[in-house]
Every structure is written in C-alpha cells, then in structure tokens.
Amino acid sequence: MTDSADKSAAAMPALPGRWERFRDSYLLYSFKRDVIAQLSLLTFIALVAIAVFAPWVSPMNPYDLAQIDIMASELPPFWIDGSDPTYWLGTDAQGRDMLSTILYGARVSLIIGFGAVALQAIIGVSFGLMAGYLGGRVDAFLMRLADIQLSFSTLMVAIIVGALVKAIFGGATFNAYAVPLLVVIIGLAEWPQYARTVRASVLAERGKEYVDAARVMGLRSKRIMFRHVLPNTLSPIFVISTVQIANAIIAEAALSFLGLGMPETHPSLGSLIKAGFDYIQSGSWWITLIPGAVLVVLVLSINLLGDWLRDVMNPRLYKG
C-alpha cells in the first residue's frame, strides 16, 4: 500500500488524557465565559452541600421534639425587634428553628427531586429506547401508554396513590413512607418526558450506519440499544434532567402545599411554606417567605444551569 495520506497522520499530536481533554473542551470554555452559569452552579452546589450536611451544620434538629421549645414559637429573624439570637432566622409556629428546618427541608426536597428524576430517567430511557429502536407495535404501545400517562396530571396521580395508601395502610404509614411514595408518584407521572425525548433521538440515531454495522456484526438488540445508541443520545437526556429536577422539586412543593406530600413533622420546603401560610395574616411572614425564597433560588439555579447546558450541548439552539 502506498499511502502518502496516512503518513501525514503519523504526525498526529500525542493522545491527550482525560483531564486534558476536559480542560480543552468546549464545555469548560463556555462555562468559563458564562457568569450566570458560574453563579448558578455555585449557588446550587452551596445549597446541595448545606442540605446534605444539614445534620452537622444546622443549629438544632427539628425532628427532635426534645429540642423544640413551644414557648419560643413565632420569633422573628434577627433583623427584626424581638428576635432571639439563638434563632437566627426566627422560629415557626411550633418553636422550631427556621434555619435548621429549612436546611432539613431542602434536604428532603432535593432527595425527592433527585430520586423522582432517577426513577423517571430509568423508566423513560428504557421505554424510549425500546420504542425508538424496536419500532412497530412496541413503539405504538409504549407511546400510547405515554400519552395516557401525560393525560393524568401529577396531582391526580398523587391524589389517587395518596388516597389509596392512606385508605389501605392508614395515615401514619403514609407519613412514614412519604419520601419514597412521593418519589414514586412524581417519577411515574413524568416519565413520558424522558421517553419522548429519548425516542426522538433514537429514531435519528437508528438510521445511522454504525447501528447497521452493529446489527451486521450480530449483536443483540439489547446490547445495540444500551452500548451503541444510548451513549449517543446522552446530551438531550442531560439537558432535560436539569429541567426535570427543578420540575420535580416544584411538584413536590406543590403537593406538600396541598397537603398531599410531606407531613409537617418531617417538612420539605413545600410543607414549610404551607405551614407558614396560615400565619402570614398574623404577621409571621418569615415562616412562609424564607423557605419560599430558598425554593425559588434552588429551582432558579437549576433552571439557569439547564439553560446553559442546553445551549452548550445543542449548538443549533442559540439564545434568541
């Protein structure tokens, strides 16, 4: 073989390592130039960190009845007259320290948000892969299933599941298993988002020749789906994951606000807002507004990160 063309390729630069490749990547480059993305990542990491380490950083344990002093209820935050320096952000109607309760509440909200999205992703990605790759009747069946699922709102699924569990096992059991139940409810309600996105990308990838090459090789459908097609559909999955985490946190807050979610003894940000809502008229606005602000900041930082990620991973979509 006489290949002058290949000779030139022999002078290819040395293979960069994983770190060098990341350092030179467009992802990092665009991150360095985007102040909003940096700020939102910083906020998000800070919130997640204090939520994860809540048991160690919070001044008191709001779940521990022995630490709660009912006489110290409805104390305002430190910048208002009549505040107690022990309770930096004031206390709620039951005398729980707001700061600690918010930290623990954010923890619950984040656990439910990530858990629900993990469940959505597992169901949605598998169904989307099967629908897109296998096509035909499997596709028709799974997509009709997705349509049916989408026609139930999250709220309706929550009401039905919540009512069923409460009727069968009693309210105490529901409260004890509220976190996994909410993960299941929000996970089940929103999987079609993943399934549809993944299916659309799979349909685009399935027509490419590397999939044909894998089939000609004799690989089984499962391996082609997970080893060949799935890695090439990851970018849209990442992008919708950010949106979905924000949505799941909001959905949990909405359900808790309506009394369908976390019990007040084990509050999430949503149930804190609900608990404080009754006292807003009596002047204790901080019980509802401070957790509300934390929720807004958390969701906003995730959404802004998601926006940035979408712009980076999909160069066809530029900011208008």
Among 107, 228, 274, 310, binds other proteins (CB under 8 A): 228
Q: Does 140 bind other proteins (CB under 8 A)?
A: yes
Among 52, 232, 258, 313, binds other proteins (CB under 8 A): 232
User: Using alpha carbons only, what angle is made at residue 315 by residues 14 and 234, rounded to the nearest 5 degrees?
Assistant: 75
Tell me the backbone φ, ψ of residue 91, rounded to 5 degrees.
-130, 165
Q: Does 213 bind other proteins (CB under 8 A)?
A: yes
Residue 1 or 35: the one with the smaller Cβ distance to other proteins is: 1
DSSP string covering 154-211, please?
Answer: HHHHHHHHHHHHHHHH-HHHHHHTHHHHHHHHHHHHHHHHHHHHHHHHHHHHHTSHHH
Q: Does 210 bind other proteins (CB under 8 A)?
A: yes
What's the CA gap between 195 and 314, in Å, rounded?
Answer: 19
Q: Does 6 bind other proteins (CB under 8 A)?
A: yes
Q: Does 10 bind other proteins (CB under 8 A)?
A: yes
Q: Does 219 bind other proteins (CB under 8 A)?
A: yes
Q: Does 313 bind other proteins (CB under 8 A)?
A: no
CB count in 10 Å sphere of residue 291: 29
Task: Report, in Å, the least distance between residue 16 CB and other proteins.
Answer: 10
Residue 4 or 281: the one with the smaller Cβ distance to other proteins is: 4
Q: Does 315 bind other proteins (CB under 8 A)?
A: no
What's the CA gap between 111 and 279, in Å, rounded?
Answer: 27
CB count in 10 Å sphere of residue 158: 24
Residue 6 or 81: the one with the smaller Cβ distance to other proteins is: 6
Q: How far is CA 30 from CA 34, 232, 283, 310, in A?
A: 6, 21, 46, 12
Percentage helix, strand, coil, to 5, in the chain? Answer: 75, 0, 25
Residue 11 or 66: the one with the smaller Cβ distance to other proteins is: 11
Among 19, 81, 82, 218, binds other proteins (CB under 8 A): 218
- Which residues in this chain contact other proteins in the complex, by CB under 8 A? 1-3, 5-6, 9-10, 12, 15, 140, 208-210, 212-220, 228, 231-232
